[in-house]
Amino acid sequence: MLTPEQVFAAHKANVETLFGLTNKAFEGVEKLVELNLQVAKTALSEVAETTTAALSVKDAQELLSLQQSLLQPSADKAAAYSRHLYDIAAATNAEVAKLAEGQFADVQKKFTSVVDNAVKNAPAGSESAVALVKSAVAAATNALETAQKAAKQAAEVAEANFQAVTSQAVKATQTATRSSKRAAA
């Protein structure tokens, strides 16, 4: 049986874990806000520069050249922004997963201790029921570990796919920029 102190300690640990997870989530949001503020500042400055350059254009050829000079940096900036967003999300997810895995390991250890204690105090003749409980606990543990491994593998595949898509988008923009420069010349 659990004592009131054990129940209180478990609740306290759960509250601490909840606040730890909440803090990690807020850290991720703070990083996202900082990134967006930085992007907004930079964009405002670039819009001012581009507007000034556009107002000083004397003919259509200069306007086309200006447009072409802006295309590639915009694609690179969009790719960099996406990369930063992904990095923030991945880092926040990793920290939350680490905390959750630590909490799960602690809960699993305590549960195993409770099961072992119950097994020691089981009445004679209940060996088959004890074996069934132990088997169920082992199967559940194995299933959770398999799910954790699958989630990690899925995150790795998503990372590789994100890298490939970003790289392809930047290359496609570079190719389009070169083609439009050749056509303009």
pLDDT single digits (tens) 101-139: 777 777 777 777 776 777 777 777 777 777 777 787 778
Which pLDDT belongs to residue 27? 92
Phi, psi dihedral angles at 70 (to 5 degrees): -90, -20
SS3 of residue 163 by DSSP? helix
Q: 131: number of CA atoms within 13 Å, CB side?
A: 4
Q: What is the mean pLDDT of residues 47-56?
A: 91
CA nearest neighbour of 22 among 104, 108, 79, 100: 100
Reported as a pLDDT band with limits 50, 70 and 90, residue 98 is confident
Find all residues with CB under 8 Å of 176, minimum gap 6, and list them.
71
Both tokens of residue 42? 């930079």
Number of domains the chain contains: 1
Q: What is the mean pLDDT of residues 90-94?
A: 87
Reported as a pLDDT band with limits 50, 70 and 90, residue 48 is very high
Whether the predicted model's global pTM rises above the 0.75 cut: no
Residues 12-23 have pLDDT tens digits of 888 888 888 889
Distance CA 54, CA 74 (A): 16
What is the per-residue burial (b if ≥16 Cβ within 10 Å, else e) of 16-48? ebeebeeebeeebeebeeeeeeeeeeeeeeeee
Domain that holds residue 16: 4-184
Residues 90/155, Cβ–Cβ less than 8 Å:
yes
Which pLDDT belongs to residue 173? 67
Q: What is the mean pLDDT of residues 87-96?
A: 87
CA nearest neighbour of 72 among 182, 174, 184: 174
Both tokens of residue 27? 């850290």
Q: 């259509």: which residue's tokens?
A: 60
Residue type present at position 141: T
Both tokens of residue 3? 């004592």
User: Looking at the predicted structure, is the pLDDT value of residue 39 above 90?
Assistant: yes
User: Looking at the predicted structure, is the pLDDT value of residue 1 above 80?
Assistant: no
Which pLDDT belongs to residue 33? 95
